Structure 1
Amino acid sequence: MSILDKIFLKGAPSADAFSPDVIFYLPDNALTRILQIANAPIKSTVTTTWVIMALLAIFSWLATRNLEREPKPGSLQNIAEAFVENISSLVETTMGSDMKKFTPYIGTLIIYLTIANIIGIVPGRDVLHLYTPTADLNTTFALAAITFFNIHYFGIKANGIKDYLKGYFEPMPLLFPLNIIGNLADPVSLSFRLFGNMMASVVIMGLLYGVVSLVIPGLADLYFNLFSGVLQAFIFSMLTMTYISMEME
């Protein structure tokens, strides 16, 4: 059921009107019962993420199946190499020349977030049950949790466990509780910032398409889904790089 169907069938819009659809349920068998996921609902957030992963895998295969030393201008290999070079330059500029090892992670993050954020502009998205993954707090919190792990893992690896723990008591031991809260606040703020912006886009566009003609919502799509989506992907990635590099100093 599309967002518009939910709105018109239920009358006044509710939180459920803008929530992802349940596509199917996991089967009830011995394995799913052991894992305690029997009959768990698989929503369009998850299936849309699978679609994005499949598209990226296909693109990667097509771009690298016939590698050339000097790829033709405009070829998939040329596009992929240009993207990698730009991301590598961005990582070097933001984090430092010795941090290029983060290029694969940051590049993957930017690609996924950009596609996930702008998937709302795909024609027929309701028919295909495509839902903006980043408009689901589960997705944004999972991404923030990965960033949180990287921040502290590489912080310990770069400075050692002793200096890492010492940082929590600086500039004075009394600030230890505040430093703990500050570190825990980083992934929370990352996840809620991205979720809030993308969920707002889903709600606004759902309401616009429900009450006015297609022209005005179409123009609004360029901002709320395209421009805002790309911007939020960039902000999330930049904050990720900033937090990791700060912890490794």
Structure 2
Amino acid sequence: MDNIQGIAFEFMGKDIYIHDTVVNSWLVVIALSIFAIYINKKIKNAKVDEKPTGILNVVEIIVEAIDNLVESTMGKDKMKFSPYIVMLALYLAVANLLGLIGLTPPTSDYNVTLALAIITFVMTQYYGMKSKGVGGYLKTLGEPFVFLLPINIVGEIANPISLSFRLFGNILSGVIIMGLLYGALGYFAPVVTFALHGYFDVFAGLIQTFIFMMLTMVFVSMAMDD
């Protein structure tokens, strides 16, 4: 198992390989967890009558912006989803930007994007059934005509597939293109690829984060609303 990316070790006579995208995903989760603990401590020590400064001000702006986005997209009655959307946005943004420091973005692995899409799918079905009742939700799958039931079911199943492939394809294409350029240009690559990092890692990464967030909110909200 030479020249591999990730962690390789032998356990009970078997070679075990953990892909670098999985390792990097763990790093993102650990980093965000440490960041959350740090911010929580800062908030507890902050004075209520004073305007937040530094990192607390940045966090407040981000949280307030996403709260407003959730309210305008899903409605005031669905603000309970805001914490999940905030963490989803932070995870995707950090994961998509890892290419800037030479690490493989976890979202370039279809296993990661599919897992996130399945979470959205489960939330959609669960909250749809919870808000309308199992019978009421299943009834909506036969609207506007009963004979469209198979098509509507296929459409529901297609949502997580299209959601995962959209994120996966855009991030992976950037990783492949940048990898080819670095391999071809060698030591001169950083000079030439600077602008491309700005597009593939920053612009495309943040755009895909926003799209995944929006589609998650839209799918869940549509399943819950009449």
TM-score, normalized by the shorter chain, greater than 0.5? yes
The offset of 1:73, in angstroms, is 4.1
Pick from 12, 24, 31 the counterpart of residue 8 of structure 2: 24
The answer for the alignment partner of 2:194 in structure 1 is 218
Q: Aligned partners of 2:140, 2:34: CA distance in 1, in Å? A: 44
Q: Aligned partners of 2:56, 2:50: CA distance in 1, in Å? A: 6
The answer for the alignment partner of 2:81 in structure 1 is 102
Pick from 158, 171, 181 the counterpart of residue 198 of structure 1: 171
The offset of 1:163, in angstroms, is 0.8
Does structure 1 residue 113 correspond to structure 2 residue 92? Answer: yes
The answer for the alignment partner of 1:241 in structure 2 is 217
The offset of 1:72, in angstroms, is 5.1
Q: Aligned partners of 1:142, 1:172: CA distance in 2, in Å? A: 32
The offset of 1:28, in angstroms, is 3.5
The offset of 1:74, in angstroms, is 3.2
Q: What is the 5 A alignment of 1:34-49?
A: 39-49=15-25
The offset of 1:79, in angstroms, is 2.4
Partner SS state of residue 97, structure 2: helix
Structure 2, unmatched stretches of 5+, are none
The offset of 1:71, in angstroms, is 5.4
Q: What is the 5 A alignment of 1:224-235?
A: 224-235=200-211
Number of aligned residue pairs: give it.
218
Q: What is the 5 A alignment of 1:147-158?
A: 147-158=120-131
Q: CA RMSD in A?
A: 2.0
Deviation per CA, 1:167-206: give whole Å up to 9, x if none. 1111111111101100000000000010000000000111
Normalised to the residue count of structure 1, the TM-score between the two structures is: 0.82
The answer for the alignment partner of 1:85 in structure 2 is 64
Normalised to the residue count of structure 2, the TM-score between the two structures is: 0.90
Equivalent position amino acid for 2:136 in 1: D
The offset of 1:53, in angstroms, is 1.2
Structure 1, unmatched stretches of 5+, are 7-19, 30-37
Matched-pair identity in %: 44
Q: Is the 8 A contact 2:6 2:23 kept in 1?
A: no
Q: Aligned partners of 2:15, 2:126: CA distance in 1, in Å? A: 35
Q: What is the 5 A alignment of 1:112-151?
A: 112-122=91-101, 125=102, 130-151=103-124
Equivalent position amino acid for 2:6 in 1: V
Task: Return structure 1 stretches of 4+ with deviation > 6 angstroms.
Answer: none
Q: Aligned partners of 2:91, 2:40: CA distance in 1, in Å? A: 19
